[in-house]
Amino acid sequence: MVEKKKRERPAFNRSIAAAISKHYKDVQTNKPMAYLLMASNPLVEIAYAARIQPAFPENYACACAAGHASAGYCETAEAYNYSPDICSYCRNHLGYIYGPGENPPTGGIGEPDLLLITSSACTHYFKWWDALHEIYGKPLIFINTPRVMEPQSKPDFYMDYAMREIEQAIGEIEKAVGVKITNDKLSEAVKLSGEVVDYWQKLLEMQKAVPCPMDYSDLSNALFVLIVLAGTQEGVDLMRETYNETKQRVNEGKGILSKDEERHRLLWINIPFWYKLGIFGYFEDRGCVFPLSDYTHHIWGTTRMDGSKPIESLARKALEGELNTSVDDQIDKLLKDAKEYHIDGVIAHSNRSCRVLSVGMLDAVDIIREELNIPALVLDCDHTDERVYSDAEIMNRIDAFLEMLA
Ligand code: SF4
């Protein structure tokens, strides 16, 4: 019987938890408030520059899943004829809107005054935001950008086009909320966003250390800062605090496990099961850490932002990121990083309702397995809809994998 250990988590988690609570109070009180999506999204900095409070229905779905409310919300959405094949983030949100219940997690996410969307992510968003437009009747403003299949040979007109789309969206937002977004305000938001990204990149770099200083849940918490608070001083301060503490841990040789305990360094592919984050503790009790994931490393925070070139930086942000690129590019990044992070095993989540991150995943797993000669386990599940999760089946498969790894 493996002993279940209580481990001390890095202290920055408490500061981030306080920021998350504040955010969910702000989305219900601050006006105007806009719904935004979480993919590498240039509208976040624009919203902050316009003093619009952003809210993120996907992040709310994570909170609902962690509070075990998502299964009920997904069921409600399905009762309103939304197919179970639709992303469970989306079903969670629509189910919450149609039947929030008496005590929704975090007190709810509030009603938007504006709907902002970019095409640089997944196609689900368009129908989702379209449904929100129908439900709330609020202005819907979007940025349309091309998909970048080969980042190394991206044509110049992609940038010109994305920059024009961003300028046009800024004009529409100004008109919708009656606020002038000056160049100074936009530059300031992009500069602050750049500082957050710089700390984030240095933070990821430290995950290469042995022992690994942060686990998947710690990094997921820091993702909240990277995505939701990009463009704010609060975001810079929190990311600096996270970075400084992690740097100190690395300098002192402190890890999630001690150097002797850390026996395997695994790669997690796709979104975690938000309702079962304790799974990472289960791996840790068996000597395994997760220094690397495509979800934490490749989707967001990949664009260096320059406050002196705000529109150009925002256009690059819209075009970069894993959700706007090809499967080949994703596999190349995983192979390169798996070597640098000293990965010796793979857990891949074949995500039932996020096909965007699951398409090509089996090929990626085969290529990594063959090229790096490391074992891999594919788990069929869902990121938010807990009804798809079978504890007995998943844990049996994990135990068998761990036995093989030992
Ligand atoms: S399908 Fe995947 S990428 Fe699209 S919204 Fe859902 S989780 Fe995000």
Question: Across-strand partners of 76?
Answer: none
Whether residue 321 is predicted with pLDDT greater than 90 in this model: the reply is no
Which ligand 1 atom is the nearest neighbour of the CA of 355? 1
Mean pLDDT computed over 233-251 = 98
- What's the 246 CA to ligand 1 centre distance in angstroms? 30
- Ligand 1 atom 4, closest CA: 122
Residue with tokens 């601050």: 30
- What's the 27 CA to ligand 1 centre distance in angstroms? 22
Phi, psi torsion values for 87, nearest 5 degrees: -45, 135
Q: Which of 89, 120, 227, 355 to mutate to test the pocket of ligand 1 (most atoms within 8 A of CB)?
A: 89
- What's the 356 CA to ligand 1 centre distance in angstroms? 6
Whether residue 150 is predicted with pLDDT greater than 80 in this model: the reply is no
Q: What domains lie within the chain, and their CATH numbers?
A: 12-405 (3.40.50.11900)
Q: Which two tokens stand for residue 187?
A: 């530059």
- What's the 80 CA to ligand 1 centre distance in angstroms? 20
Q: What is the C-alpha to C-alpha distance for residues 132 and 115, in angstroms, rounded to an integer?
A: 8
- What's the 100 CA to ligand 1 centre distance in angstroms? 22
| DSSP secondary structure string for all residues of 350-404 | EETT--TTTTTHHHHHHHHHHHHT--EEEEEE-SS-GGG--HHHHHHHHHHHHHH
User: 95 Cβ partners below 8 Å, 6+ apart?
Assistant: 72, 73, 74, 75, 76, 77, 78, 80
243 pLDDT band (50/70/90 cuts)? very high
Residue 200's SS3 state is: helix
Name residues contacting ligand 1 (CB within 6 A).
Answer: 87, 89, 122, 124, 323, 354, 356-357
User: 297 Cβ partners below 8 Å, 6+ apart?
Assistant: 204, 333, 337
What pLDDT digit, counting tens, does each position of 261-285 carry?
Answer: 999 999 999 999 999 999 999 999 9
Mean pLDDT computed over 201-209 = 98
What pLDDT digit, counting tens, does each position of 332-375 carry?
Answer: 999 999 999 999 999 999 999 998 888 889 999 999 999 999 99
- Ligand 1 atom 1, closest CA: 354
Average confidence score pLDDT of the chain: 95
